[in-house]
Amino acid sequence: MNTRLWIGLVVLVTTAAAGADTPPGTELDGRFDALIQPTELSAWMRQLAAEPNHVGSKHDRANAEWILAQFKAWGWDAHIETFQVLYPTPIRESLTLLGAHPFKATLTEMPIPGDATSYRIRDALPAYVAYQGDGDVSAPLVYVNYGMQEDYRTLQRLGVSVRGRIVIARYGGGWRGLKPRLALEHGAVGCLIYSDPNDDGYAKGEVYPKGAERPATGIQRGSVADMTLYPGDPLTPGVAATESAHRLAVADAPTIQRIPTLPISYADARHFLESLGGRVVPTAWRGSLPITYHTGDESVRARLIVRSEWSLKPIYDVVAMMKGSTYPEQWVMRGNHHDGWVFGASDPLSGQVALLSEAKAFGALAAAGWRPKRTLVYLSWDGEEPMLLGSTEWVEAHADELRHKAVIYINTDSNARGLLRVSGSQAFQHLADEVAASVTDPETGVPVSARRRAALLLAGQEPGASDSDKDWGKVAATRAHSLPIAAMGSGSDYSPFIQHLGIAALDFEYAGEGAWEGVYHSSYDTWEHHSRHVDPGFAYDALLAKTVGHAVARIADAELPPQRFADFAEEVASYVAEVKTLADHRREAADVQAQALALDAYRLADDPTKTHGSPSPLQPVPYLEFAPLDNGASHLMRAARAFDAALSEHGESLSAQVRAQLFEALRTVDQLLAPEVGLPGRSWYKNLIDAPGRYTGYGAKTLPGVREAIEEERWADADRYAKLTGEVLDAYAMRLETATELVLGTVR
């Protein structure tokens, strides 16, 4: 599911080039790495991706059972855990351009000569997005660019309404599921989503099979359930979708979209777009079809039919454990989903085969006498694609146990040739650095950390680099600091861990060179495409296994806490500065806009043949009560620096017993970030530091209770969440102070 469209600073991780300050890989790293075989990963992917493996397919269940068998064969204590989730199975999709020159959309992906898998689509899902609204609508078409909030503001200025119409939006700009939701909010009755060749097709590079990019008939499936309210089964928010769970009626489930929605290819979309009249679109709205893009007017109508069968379906999570020798009740968790939209080679099987390879290697090490100190929990999720079903339901089912046992959850998903990207809990930046220094990049022969550092340095040199990029570029050149990792939004199975329970989480991915985006969620995401264009030789999928394996082993065997809290405190301080600047900028924008409206400036400056009227007035922005947030962030910074200093000074001299006490005191500290109250209007999301944005989807919003309140002009919420977030930071700081006292009390 994860698009991984990393906007802004591409945040990867590394530590130092080979040199005096390089932490060497451990002896265990070396033994582990010797067990990772790229040819095995290739063979496993080929088998798992041989047939369509979406939720409800035969091959999905067979894959779960095969994975279970492997874990067992490798010595793990494994079982399948099943949930019953609402899953709409498509029955009928139809899209027709009406009028004098009618055209019926093919909704068909043509197989690719030379890619045998792409022919095996008999049982595949059609053009389809999950949890759309069923319906049969005929209405005029309107092109809405990406269909995001700012696009509707632009339409208002152009004098174009979508009320009673079917919108056609291109993929990109924000998460897919926002497109039908925002369309409905603005009165539309249907929603088409297509892949424009500018964002996803020939403009980016050669199309498959010659290159990696999306062919003309490629269709991006996906989920449009309103993930920003809650993920998982739409009928069982907050509780596991067991046989006996209390369920909402389908009609009452708030995450299901209400209007028919259909994804189409650019081969189909062209027929609709080139027929549109109305206004010529603004420059930023142009795609790469060889046409003049227009908004559309009343004259061009289409008929859209979407019907599904709405019933419960079983999903199959594979859960495998290797008991810890010293702390069996402390769980180091690591997961990746196994369901795809069609064959799912890159997404998710490239990460799945890395996970399997790690599991086999740990099994072999265990057979040779090694045991992890803490329990390893390997999780092969089902139903991630429709809406993180397998992970969310499992987390909801085991919430109490997880609160007590969790150390961390480490996730992967799609993987490719390229540089390492890490996102998640920033107290683990230092660990991520160490891990990145322990693996060697196949293309350059340097530590993965060195490529990451080089990329960060150059990002600071790009024209238009932000001050933050430049600062990090300088840091990268000095090798003096843990490098930043990105805040987590959503789009993969870490979400229920970090955002619902506040369990520390990390996500690892190699990306940026081998491109799987061009076949994303299409029937062209095959073993053939992956092995030809995404990771030839499976070098980076094997590297992912080594990287994650090193992280898992380090945390499982750690004596001292692996966190460095100043890294986290600095991130939080930067978020606080951002939300304050955001309020100031919006205040200024509202003031200037009020002046402009008073002067009738929009009408006067506009070309009267091209625009129609002024924007909606912004509310004046009051001065907000940021003091609790400032105090909390400052408290956190002091406490974090004191702890890091104490650990650095005295950590190695602590007794084994105190080390264990210290680890335990900080094992659950991130759960303090996720108080029961949750975010306004979407209390499933409890983490007050990171959340998927209500209007960005996958994209993270940091300090979301405050930031989104400012963005949405909810001033009382902004004040309230500044206070709540400040309290959370205070509690976190106090936990660190207790831990510091434990260190210093011991050595005094």
Question: How far from 618 is each of 595, 709, 722, CA to CA, in Å?
Answer: 11, 14, 22
Residues between 649 and 708 with contacts to its own copies, criterion CB under 8 A: none
Residue 477 C-beta: closest distance to its own copies, Å:
4
204 vs 694 by CB, closer to its own copies: 204
612 contributes a contact to its own copies by CB under 8 A: no
Task: Tell me the window of 334-342, 447-455, 538-546, 675-683 that interacts with its own copies (CB under 8 A).
Answer: 447-455
Q: Of the candidates 604, 655, 656, 676, which one interacts with its own copies according to CB under 8 A?
A: 604
348 vs 518 by CB, closer to its own copies: 518
457 contributes a contact to its own copies by CB under 8 A: yes
Task: Tell me the window of 164-172, 371-379, 471-479, 489-497 that interacts with its own copies (CB under 8 A).
Answer: 471-479
How many of the other CB atoms lie within 10 Å of CB of 584?
Answer: 12
Which one, of 5, 316, 276, lies nearest residue 141 by Cα? Answer: 276
Angle at 284 between CA 589 and CA 208, to 5 degrees: 140
User: What's the farthest any 2 CA atoms get from each other in the chain?
Assistant: 88
Residue 270 C-beta: closest distance to its own copies, Å:
9
Residue 135 pairs with which residues in a beta bridge?
306
Structure tokens at 532: 């030809």
Euclidean distance between CA atoms 708 and 575, whole angstroms: 13
- What is the DSSP secondary structure assignment for residue 459, as one 8-state letter? H
Q: Of the candidates 77, 136, 206, 652, which one interacts with its own copies according to CB under 8 A?
A: 206
Question: How far from 487 is each of 570, 638, 701, CA to CA, in Å?
Answer: 13, 22, 8
Q: Of the candidates 69, 577, 592, 716, which one interacts with its own copies according to CB under 8 A?
A: 592
615 vs 622 by CB, closer to its own copies: 615
Residue 444 C-beta: closest distance to its own copies, Å:
6
382, 338 contact by CB (below 8 A): yes
Single-letter amino acid, residue 171: Y
Q: Of the candidates 326, 593, 631, 634, which one interacts with its own copies according to CB under 8 A?
A: 593
Contacts of 651 (CB under 8 A, 6+ apart): 560, 659, 743
Euclidean distance between CA atoms 468 and 698, whole angstroms: 22
448 vs 674 by CB, closer to its own copies: 448
How many of the other CB atoms lie within 10 Å of CB of 203?
Answer: 13
3-state SS, residue 185? helix
Euclidean distance between CA atoms 431 and 482, whole angstroms: 9
Q: Of the candidates 72, 323, 398, 474, which one interacts with its own copies according to CB under 8 A?
A: 474
580 contributes a contact to its own copies by CB under 8 A: no
4 contributes a contact to its own copies by CB under 8 A: no
Residues between 402 and 421 with contacts to its own copies, criterion CB under 8 A: 417-419
7 contributes a contact to its own copies by CB under 8 A: no
What is the CA 123 to chain-centroid distance, rounded? Answer: 28
280 vs 366 by CB, closer to its own copies: 280
Euclidean distance between CA atoms 748 and 735, whole angstroms: 20
Angle at 269 between CA 266 and CA 275, to 5 degrees: 140
Residue 693 C-beta: closest distance to its own copies, Å:
18
Euclidean distance between CA atoms 555 and 677, whole angstroms: 30
Q: Of the candidates 39, 311, 444, 648, which one interacts with its own copies according to CB under 8 A?
A: 444
Q: Of the candidates 185, 401, 584, 600, which one interacts with its own copies according to CB under 8 A?
A: 600
Residues between 707 and 726 with contacts to its own copies, criterion CB under 8 A: none
Euclidean distance between CA atoms 308 and 542, whole angstroms: 39
Residues between 277 and 296 with contacts to its own copies, criterion CB under 8 A: 280, 283, 286, 288-293
Residue 283 C-beta: closest distance to its own copies, Å:
8
590 contributes a contact to its own copies by CB under 8 A: no
Residue 735 C-beta: closest distance to its own copies, Å:
38
End-to-end CA distance of the chain: 52
Residues between 207 and 236 with contacts to its own copies, criterion CB under 8 A: 207, 211, 213
Interacting residue ranges for its own copies, rule: CB under 8 A: 17, 197-198, 202-207, 211, 213, 280, 283, 286, 288-293, 417-419, 443-444, 446, 450-451, 453-455, 457-458, 460-461, 473-474, 477, 512-513, 589, 592-593, 595-596, 599-605, 607-610
